[in-house]
Amino acid sequence: MKILMTGATGYIGSELLRMLPDEENQIIPIGFSNTHIHENVRNVDLTDFIKTNQYIKSVSPDIILHLAGSKDMAKCEADKIFSRRINFEASENIISQCFENKIKLIYISTDAVFDGVHKHDELSVAVPTTQYGKDKLATENLIRNNLIDFVIVRIGGIFGTKNDFVDEVYTKLKREGNFHAYVNLINNPTYIGDLCNMLRIIIEKEHRGIFHCAGSESLSRYDFALKIAEHFNFDTSLIIPEELDLSKDIRLANLSMDCIQTYTTLNYYPQSISKILKSNSVFDRKA
């Protein structure tokens, strides 16, 4: 299977590029960077529609795995034109190429398509409140209305990549002796290895539809930080609970997702965060 991967220079894309390729799947990575491009990654600016279309036609992929876009919610809120251009219009162009050339699309979406009030499953009505979420949902809707062979993958906060939340908590505890964590920001922390495994199953089994490829636990940032501190043998009292003033911050309180339908369909069940931290060498450090 020939898979064109966008966003291959990002933290998630870089890890998937390392983990996904196998004998069955040839990954063709593209990315865009103002400073450097990773080895073996073709530099393609997806907002240059002509060059993007020419490259897609030259590669003739079976699947486009579309990760590219800006996940900076604050920047997207401050510059809605930027967000629309990079998160929707670039995706709109890729969707048109998939339609025209009969290419399967696997689109990496987000928990931010929801309202941040309570837990949502794969069939829940999405009502985003941020520009980032609105552009991601607009892309989802365009896919559903125009393509037949597609997968929409919603993910939670990814860990297991460079400079992730685990690194942030560990580094601050090591250097400063405490870590302030919000008790009122909740999501499903998602291990990059689990995301990769679920994507591999989706590709191998030729699934279609909407999937919640997120972690099995809905946790506040505070509860997640406690698990990280415990794993690295820090005193958990060093994790200081705080409440984020949501009246002044665009982040959403509860982005937890119900993933049972996805787990059942894929026959894949992620381990708890504590077990993931213990069983993967990427999290081995000396406290």
The domains of the chain are located at 2-158+189-212, 163-187+217-256+271-283
Query: Which residues have CB under 8 Å from 79's CB, separation 6+?
Result: none
Class of domain 2-158+189-212: alpha beta
Thinking of the domain 163-187+217-256+271-283, which architecture would CATH place it in?
Answer: Alpha-Beta Complex (3.90)
Average pLDDT of the segment spanning 64-91 = 97
- Model pTM? 0.95
**Helix or strand or coil: residue 280?**
coil
Gap between the Cα atoms of 211 and 194, Å rounded? 13
- 22 falls in which pLDDT band (50, 70, 90)? confident
Among 30-44, 135-149, 158-172, 270-284, the range scoring the smallest mean pLDDT is: 30-44
Gap between the Cα atoms of 200 and 125, Å rounded? 27
> How far from each other are the two terminal CA atoms of the chain, in whole angstroms?
43
Length of the chain: 287
CA 45 to chain centroid: 20
How many Cβ atoms from other residues are within 10 Å of residue 217's Cβ?
A: 20
Q: Look at residue 287 and tell me whether its pLDDT is greater than 70.
A: no
Among 35-44, 62-71, 221-230, 250-259, the range scoring the smallest mean pLDDT is: 35-44
Percent with pLDDT over 90 in the chain: 88
